[in-house]
Amino acid sequence: MSYENPTSDKTKGSRNRREEALSMLAGARGPQFTFLQTALNALALGLDCEIAAVGEISADKRKFQPLAILNGGAFIDPVAFDIAGTPCEELYTSPEDVSHICYSEGLCDLFPLDQILQASGAQGYRAEPVRDVDGDIFGHVYVIDNKPMAIDDESTMFFRLVSQRIGAEINRWRAESARETSEIRQQDLLNNTSSVIYIKDADGRYVFVNQTFEKLFHISNKEVKGKTDHDLFPKEKADILRANDLKALESEEPQEIEEIVPHDDGLHAYISVKFPLKDKSGQAYAVCGISTDITERKQAEDELRSSENSLRETKRLLEGAIQSFSDGFALFDADDRFVFANEFYLTAHKEVRDIQVPGTPFEAIVNKLAEIGFYGNSPDEIEECIRVRLERFRNGETFEYEMADGRWYQVNQYEASGGGKSIVRTNITKIKEAETLRLEAESRFRAIIDNSPAPIFFKDLEGRFLIANAKHEEGFDAKASELIGKTSQPFVGEDAYQAIVQQDQEVMRTRKVVTKVHAFSGREFLTIKFPVFNAQGELLGLGGIDTDISELRQAEKALAQSEARFRDFAEASSDWFWEMDQKGRITWQSEIHGTSVWLARKTVIGKTRQEVAGQYLSDTDWQPYQNAISGELEFRNFEYCYEGTDNSLLHARISGNPIYDEDGNFLGHRGVASNITELREAEELLRKAQKMEAVGQLTGGIAHDFNNLMAVMIGNAEMLVDIVEHDENAKQNVEAIIRSIERGSSLTSRLLAFSRQQSLSPIAVDVTQLIVDLEDMLRRTLGEATDLQVESVANLWHALIDPHQLESALLNLAINARDAMPGGGTLVIETSNVTFDTDYAKAHEEVQPGEYVVIAVSDTGSGMAPDVLEKVFEPFFTTKDVGKGSGLGLSMVYGLAKQSNGHLTIYSEVGQGTTVRLYLPRGPVLRAANDDAVEDARPAPGSERILVVEDDPGVRAVSVNMLSSHGYEIVEAEDGKEAIALLEGNPKFDLLFTDIVLPGGMNGMDIVDAAQKIQPGIKVLYTTGYAERAVVHNDELDLNAEVVNKPYRRSELLEKVRAILDDEGSD
């Protein structure tokens, strides 16, 4: 073939056609033929040619099958043709990789044998190969024109571009077809297997089951979707199945588990292989199980164990029979070493009996016989006799020889099927005596067979019975006389007979022992069949032993259950056992269950504990342990620690006793070790909790006293408002004082919340909206140097939290982040939903399982070192300069999380920034309460009689002033003793207004109890410097008691008093 490059067509018309063609190709879509129509039209347009086609080559590279042919603007039926003698032949036959074929003119002259070209009068031809994903040519695209064809770089690039696009689409169609075929095959495979296959999601709900599952449990794949094992099986079984699923979800390796599930005919045992299905991120989202019914196998194993016991008894009987043989019998292994001989064989040559022990080479026995003169006296004669005897032994020859005392023996030597040789030495001095002995031996042998608990039989080469013992007769329900000379066919079904024939043929073909397990007459049998040879090694037939293993199977099942039970006990224990030698080196250690962070056994074997963990204890600390090792003493509860595989510090407690051999020699120590890491961590948490409790009590006391002070201030300030009512400037100043007092009250509320003496008011809060409402304040607080980014997840749950405390916590975290970025930076607030399961909660004791809303606050600031991180939640700890931080910010946030039944974590690296995650329990979706309550007008004046009990003179004076100025008749008391005296000596009171915490031995509840006795039905209002309902939560106050919290506003007190006095049902 010649390549031509005539003058390129660079006219504007050609370029416009190609641009139009490429535009057509870019928009090509739809089914296969529709796309090919568009692509070939674009190709014909761009190259201005008559014919454009694409097709695939056959596997033998001889025939081309067009997929689509465009001829003169119309598509014609594609017909396959032989490529021999055509322009495209070189694409498939050239030894070199041909990437393009082009003929500008004279095509008919070049390929006279191509009838299609001759019929069309073609002049120009171009072809481009199409390749599969591996780069191999599977077809080509070609164009033909009946006029000379202009060929240039631009047209070549256009042709190649269109061809590559067509090839890419064909490859895509091929891949889709292969994938569809693969999916169909996979579905067929899943539904046609005898195993039960299923998929459950992470919550245990079925997603898919195969047809085997549907048939066994009478539920379709459609019906089972969304159900759990608890919907299908008894709770006890379902709990076990669920636990196994969770184990598989958490494991990196497939888990093989034995499971028991109920069927129509009772419980069935399954071997289940379970493994997690993971998404692209590696997160397990489902568990797949493949369960195989092993009920029959379990039963077979039980029966096999019973059969083995029978076989051992049979072996004992056979050995006894061999000892009773009148002939000498000896067995040598494959290396010609003595194994066993009966007494007759040993006594035939008493002179060498002492060396005929297991392991003695046969040649050594022969040499010993030569030394005692058994083979004559001449050295040449002795040498020849030894040579002949050894040659006969190796060749397994049968021969006779005469003893010095005139006795004659016949020696028969046999090759054992498993290797080795056996020797039978027969005394043939008296043929009759020998015949009698033979008959007796046969009789004994027959007795052994007939009295064997297992069916025993022998067959000839045609499968006809030669021998069948009584047990075998029972199995066939026929007498031996009926069996002898017949095959098994008349006594069993056709299927069973064919199985027997197949086993017999396998024994005779392989000349090896064949063992099979089969069922017969409702029982399960282990059949051992073996070939039987004559002295010349010719196959005579086969023998067999049938052992009923039904009970063995049941025993094996019970044993497996027992082993599983004890394995569960061992795996449930967190302790492990160990042994060490005289120098304290660990020589053995059991598996450590329940954790993967302890050092593996292979890591510690051969090392002392000091070598494993010596860096964490001083020599003095190790001394008691070392004294016990060197002094061969027992030791108890020695504690040490070392670094686990995850770099965590692990604590262990060990106890051990010295061990000695039977001679009293000291071997080392043996003992038990316990993981006390959690115990030590719990002790540390208790210490921190006690510290926090002490600080909380101090903080609560300060806040309580501060509330009393603010109660006096706010009361007097409100009265000042009335006095300066007409002085606008003075009124504004007083109102500013009131606002400052209210901010102080908010601060004490947070202090009380931190000290756990302030009850929260948790509601279902839309966290997303709360952050949106708080965003403007945060931006003003952070300043322009800090870039605030808020990233809220869609469908965020509501959180159960006090919204005001949450706002304060977020503001605290934002200010901390701003201070960590003095030069500016980025602050990101993210939200998400998370669920902690029981297993996660077990691993993190500070977390309760459940659903949480997560608020993560991250900065790009300076970060914190590990020693600082350990203290960040401690009250009054701060890294800021003196006067710039109270040390209560993170402590209050931490306290809020704990009071809200949530969780708080912090992660930080020096120079990398800090992330604080606040986990808040999920709350119900409720309509938010209206926080913009409008203050009602001041209630109407009253004239009722009120007893005020308050130990703080300032607070008492303010409250008395507030009430008396509103018309009430007020009587005041400083403590409980004075209050009781007033109740007993004064006219009836309408209301008792008392502080809860009072000096003098009587608190507010004590006073109320006494007042109810003196004046039944008296109405009560409590006040406290602690938060409203805090004492209720501490079981100090009735849940329905009316309480006004200090510091209270005048309107708040007057409204509360008026409401109680007007309530007809209160007392």
Least confident of 521-525, 712-716, 927-931, 1020-1024: 927-931
From 977, 974, 967, 971, select the one nearest 995 (Cα to Cα). Answer: 974
Q: E strand or H helix at 753, and its extent?
A: helix 728-754
Q: What is the mean pLDDT of residues 845-862?
A: 89
- Is the pLDDT at 373 greater than 50, yes or no? yes
Model pLDDT, residue 449? 72
pLDDT one-digit tens code per residue, 748-769: 665 555 554 455 678 999 999 9
Biggest distance spanned by C-alpha atoms of the chain: 155
- Is the pLDDT at 969 greater than 90, yes or no? yes
Burial 555-567 (b: 16+ CB within 10 A, else e): bbbeebeeeeeee
Least confident of 37-51, 171-185, 455-469: 171-185
How far, in Å, CA of 46 to CA of 17, rounded?
Answer: 5
Give residue 324's identity as a one-letter amino acid code: S
Which residue spans within 924-1052 are E strands per DSSP? 945-949, 969-973, 991-995, 1019-1024, 1043-1045
- Residue 877 is encoded by which pair of tokens? 């700890």
Helices 431-450, 295-323: axis angle to 10 degrees equals 160
Residue 927 CA, chain-centre distance (Å), reads 40
How far, in Å, CA of 259 to CA of 271, rounded?
Answer: 6
Q: E strand or H helix at 624, and its extent?
A: helix 619-630
pLDDT one-digit tens code per residue, 774-812: 888 788 888 888 999 999 888 999 999 988 888 888 988
| Strands 74-76 vs 63-71: parallel, antiparallel or unpaired | antiparallel
How far, in Å, CA of 819 to CA of 813, rounded?
Answer: 10
Give residue 960's identity as a one-letter amino acid code: V
- Residue 699 is encoded by which pair of tokens? 């903080």
pLDDT one-digit tens code per residue, 823-844: 899 999 999 999 988 877 776 7
- Is the pLDDT at 604 greater than 90, yes or no? no
Residue 572 CA, chain-centre distance (Å), reads 18
In which band, very low, low, confident or very high, does the pLDDT at 665 lie, cut at 50, 70 and 90?
A: very high
pLDDT one-digit tens code per residue, 526-552: 888 889 988 888 888 888 887 877 777
Counting residues of the chain whose pLDDT is more than 70, the rounded percentage is: 84
- Is the pLDDT at 421 greater than 70, yes or no? yes
Answer for the pair 151, 10: CB distance below 8 angstroms, yes or no.
Answer: no
From 95, 89, 121, select the one nearest 106 (Cα to Cα). Answer: 121
Residue 706 CA, chain-centre distance (Å), reads 55
- Is the pLDDT at 693 greater than 70, yes or no? no
Q: What is the mean pLDDT of residues 721-733?
A: 71
How far, in Å, CA of 201 to CA of 277, rounded?
Answer: 9
Q: What is the mean pLDDT of residues 73-87?
A: 89
- Is the pLDDT at 6 greater than 80, yes or no? no
Which has more pLDDT, 906 or 597? Answer: 906
Q: Beta partners for 82?
A: 63
In which band, very low, low, confident or very high, does the pLDDT at 936 lie, cut at 50, 70 and 90?
A: very low
Model pLDDT, residue 580? 93
pTM of the entire predicted model: 0.31
Residue 226, CB-side half-sphere exposure with 13 Å CA sphere: 2
Q: Is the peptide bond before 1047 cis (omega within 30 degrees of 0)?
A: yes
From 909, 934, 1061, select the one nearest 989 (Cα to Cα). Answer: 1061
Helices 550-572, 295-323: axis angle to 10 degrees equals 120
- Is the pLDDT at 993 greater than 90, yes or no? yes
The total of other beta-carbon atoms located within 10 Å of residue 998's CB is: 22
Q: E strand or H helix at 72, and its extent?
A: none
In which band, very low, low, confident or very high, does the pLDDT at 935 lie, cut at 50, 70 and 90?
A: very low
How far, in Å, CA of 527 to CA of 515, rounded?
Answer: 6
Long-range CB contact pairs, 41-46, < 8 A, 24+: 41/70, 42/162, 43/70, 43/141, 43/143, 43/159, 43/162, 44/70, 44/73, 44/143, 45/17, 45/20, 45/21, 46/17, 46/18, 46/20, 46/21, 46/22, 46/155, 46/158, 46/159, 46/162
Model pLDDT, residue 9? 45
Model pLDDT, residue 434? 52
Q: E strand or H helix at 741, and its extent?
A: helix 728-754
- Is the pLDDT at 1066 greater than 80, yes or no? no
Locus of tokens 């190969």: 129
Q: What is the mean pLDDT of residues 965-970?
A: 92
Q: What is the mean pLDDT of residues 306-331?
A: 79
Model pLDDT, residue 968? 94
Q: DSSP assignment, residue 324?
A: T
How far, in Å, CA of 57 to CA of 62, rounded?
Answer: 7
Answer for the pair 335, 362: CB distance below 8 angstroms, yes or no.
Answer: no
> Mean of the per-residue pLDDT values for the chain?
81
How far, in Å, CA of 941 to CA of 939, rounded?
Answer: 6
Locus of tokens 């074929």: 101
How far, in Å, CA of 807 to CA of 797, rounded?
Answer: 17
Least confident of 80-94, 184-198, 577-591: 184-198
Answer for the pair 219, 232: CB distance below 8 angstroms, yes or no.
Answer: yes
How far, in Å, CA of 274 to CA of 249, rounded?
Answer: 8
How far, in Å, CA of 421 to CA of 683, rounded?
Answer: 73
Q: E strand or H helix at 688, and its extent?
A: helix 677-723
| 398 contacts: CB under 8 Å, gap ≥ 6 | 410, 411, 412, 413, 535
Least confident of 274-278, 511-515, 689-693, 1039-1043: 689-693
| 460 contacts: CB under 8 Å, gap ≥ 6 | 466, 540, 541
Q: Is 848 exposed, middle or buried (0-12, 13-18, 19+ CB in 10 A)?
A: middle
Question: How many residues make up the chain in this entry?
Answer: 1067
Considering 135-139, 408-412, 734-738, 863-867, the range whose residues carry the highest mean pLDDT is: 135-139
User: Order of strands across the sheet with 421-427?
Assistant: 338-341, 328-332, 421-427, 408-415, 399-402
- Is the pLDDT at 574 greater than 80, yes or no? no
In which band, very low, low, confident or very high, does the pLDDT at 475 lie, cut at 50, 70 and 90?
A: low
Long-range CB contact pairs, 804-808, < 8 A, 24+: 804/761, 805/750, 805/753, 805/760, 805/896, 806/765, 806/767, 806/770, 806/896, 806/920, 807/770, 807/774, 808/746, 808/750, 808/892
In which band, very low, low, confident or very high, does the pLDDT at 884 lie, cut at 50, 70 and 90?
A: very low
Query: All domains of the chain, ordered by start, with CATH?
Result: 12-180 (3.30.450.40), 193-293 (3.30.450.20), 336-429 (3.30.450), 439-554 (3.30.450.20), 573-675 (3.30.450.20), 767-923 (3.30.565.10), 945-1062 (3.40.50.2300)
Answer for the pair 955, 997: CB distance below 8 angstroms, yes or no.
Answer: no
How far, in Å, CA of 302 to CA of 560, rounded?
Answer: 10
From 891, 844, 870, select the one nearest 692 (Cα to Cα). Answer: 891
